[in-house]
Amino acid sequence: MRAKRAGIFIKLFLSLTLASVLIFSGLLYFSLNSFKEAFYSQKTDDMSLYTERTGQFLDMYVQNVRNLLLEVSRQLDAEDMQKEPWKTEEMLARLLEWNKELISQVYVRTADGRVLTGNRLLYDTIEHPQLLETFRIVDDNPGIISWSQPYYSPMLVDETVAFALAVRDKSGRRIGIVLAEINTPQLSGQLSKLFYGQENSFVLFSEKGRLVAYERSSALLPYEQATVPKRLDASFVSRLWNAENGVNRLKGPKEALLTVKSNRNQLGWYLVTVTGEQRFMVSVREVIGRYVGISVLWFALLIVFTYFISRHFIRPLKLLALQMDRFNGELFPLIVSPEPRNDEIGDLTRSYQLLIERIRGLLETVREKEERKKESELRLLLSQIRPHFLYNTLACIGSLAKQHRAADVVETIRSLIRLLTFSIDKKTEMVTLYEELDLLKAYVQIMKIRYGDTFTLVIEVPEEDMGRIVPKMLLQPLLENALFHGVVHKEDGVIRISVRQEGETFELRVQDNGQGMTAEQLAAVQGAQTAVHDDGTRPVRQGLNGIGLSNIQERVKLLYGEEYGLAIESEVGFGTCVRVKLPARPFR
């Protein structure tokens, strides 16, 4: 009897529902089609207007940059650049201040290869390896203004584009090159004002598909997580660039997007305007609303008609649902069915009981792992550059300055800047082995200034392994541990860093020839990060940071699994060797 009733219920309900859906879907389909073409036509016309207006703005922007370069070239004097370069730099500084919304930096390269800049202090402090290569763009188009592809500028800490012009004297001899880097964040902000708030956005490409500018905070665009400044999602950028000129539809982070692509400007750059389709579907929603009202009335009658048939099945399901509602993520009640059932509902009840038990075990496992991960992240957050290390390093710099050791002062400041930049940078938690070793060199330079040339760092890493990806700040605590617990008090201390790969495992080794450690000393070093005083404070270490070996161990296991981590070997009088076992991941 039950099987018969279930069959009647299913057939009746599905038949009525299917007929209703077909009727209302047909009416809705024909109504929506009459609106769709008009909506798309209106919106594409609006977006084409935005694109044309933005192209005119870009032409004016480029003309302003050209005028600036021409003004600099008119004011340059070959004799001043050779004998009194400071006058040229003062002129560049004034132009930079007056045009800071247009350009971020301006440079002049003299005929003898010197670089003059409007911000000498910043240029001398921060290396700009791309600059000298960028000056060569004038060789491709001598006599006219040239521009580069977008590249990263450490002076702007963002992507930029350079415009350059060769400067010649009256005889036609080249006396220098003037180059200006545009302020792309300002350009993005100015373009954003042309698109009327949150309803539209934009992405600007160079003629070769490199990103020039884009809106940094738009709900329409997908961004990569935890990047400063915000970066667009790489796959989304690829889809935008590969789209044809004209109108296109793309999938966005929250809704479908309508885009218009055009390169009608002097530079040949491609501007893609973006808008969400839901922004202009208000009228469609009104049409849908009318049919929804009619549908509600019809389905109300359908519910009344099927209620009596479905009552036999709905009541036991409601009882099961009430017991399911008791589950809130903390309580795991054992369900007792009000009456034994041997049908599908009984099977569902028993399956739910088994599911709750499985969820209990999974949640406990996840909760434990999350707590460990949060503790590790908190310790890593608290382990940024320690004030004592900064105080001691700055004191050393002051001492070097009093001794007139200018070269050591410059090198020590650069090393400190590299350490600060590397430690504070939040863009990524993974770096190449080359970057990690470069940090160690900066740290060792500071330590040798503080403690003298009493130890040697030997790096035995093949060139082909330099591109391997490792967790950030992995080796520095190990080097610091080897230094302070091993070789700092020796005259001929040696710290050796080497690598080895066995199958799918890649191993890093930090080995010293110091005094070694007893079992008690080794336990103290491993527990230094988690030690807490009676008053709740942590002991202060005098090193670069507070990352202990136990923290590194936990980070490695959380990132790669329990089979990876640290292994320490130490013998009193012979030194210590710390081995870090990692998976042999692909290179960057």
> Mapping DSSP to helix (H, G, I), strand (E, B) and coil, where does residue 19 land?
helix
Structure-token match 């299913």, residue found? 10
- State the Cα–Cα distance between residues 56 and 477, nearest whole angstrom: 55
Q: What is the pTM of this model?
A: 0.43
- State the Cα–Cα distance between residues 578 and 497, nearest whole angstrom: 10
By C-alpha distance, which of 81, 73, 88 is closest to 111? Answer: 81
Average pLDDT per 10 consecutive residues for the chain, totaling 588 residues: 48 71 73 67 73 84 89 81 84 89 89 87 85 84 83 88 88 86 88 71 89 84 81 88 86 82 84 79 68 76 70 67 64 52 71 77 78 61 57 80 86 86 74 92 89 89 92 88 81 91 93 86 61 44 56 84 89 90 79
- CATH 3.30.450.20 placement within the chain: 1-301
Residues pairing with 275 in the sheet: 200, 258
- State the Cα–Cα distance between residues 241 and 447, nearest whole angstrom: 49
Q: What is the pLDDT of residue 388?
A: 61
- State the Cα–Cα distance between residues 317 and 131, nearest whole angstrom: 71
- State the Cα–Cα distance between residues 447 and 441, nearest whole angstrom: 10
Q: What is the pLDDT of residue 404?
A: 83
What does the block give as tokens for 288?
Answer: 């849908």
Q: Output helix, strand, coil percentages for the chain, rounded to the nearest 5.
A: 55, 20, 30
CA 65 to chain centre: 31
Long-range contacts of 424-429 (CB under 8 A, 24+ apart): 424/384, 424/385, 426/226, 426/228, 427/226, 427/227, 427/228, 428/472, 429/471, 429/472
Note the CATH number of domain 387-530+546-583. Answer: 3.30.565.10
Say how many C-beta atoms besides its own lie within 10 A of residue 148's C-beta: 20
- State the Cα–Cα distance between residues 422 and 302, nearest whole angstrom: 66
CA 342 to chain centre: 55
What does the block give as tokens for 8?
Answer: 């009647």
What does the block give as tokens for 96?
Answer: 């930079």
- Determine whether domain 1-301 maps to CATH 3.30.450.20: yes
Q: What is the pLDDT of residue 396?
A: 83
- State the Cα–Cα distance between residues 429 and 549, nearest whole angstrom: 18
Task: Count the residues in the chain.
Answer: 588
- CATH 3.30.565.10 placement within the chain: 387-530+546-583
